[in-house]
Amino acid sequence: METTVYFRRQAAFCLRLSDLCADELIADHLRSQAADYHHRALRAEFDLQPDMADHDCSADPFIRH
- Give the residues of the chain that fall short of pLDDT 50: 60-65
pLDDT at 4: 92
Question: Based on the number of CB atoms within 10 Å of its own CB, is 65 exposed (0-12), middle (13-18) or buried (19 or more)?
Answer: exposed
Q: For position 46, what pLDDT does the model report?
A: 87
Phi, psi of 16 (to 5 degrees): -65, -45
pLDDT at 2: 79
Instruction: Delimit the domains of the chain by residue range.
Output: 2-56
One-letter identity of residue 43: R
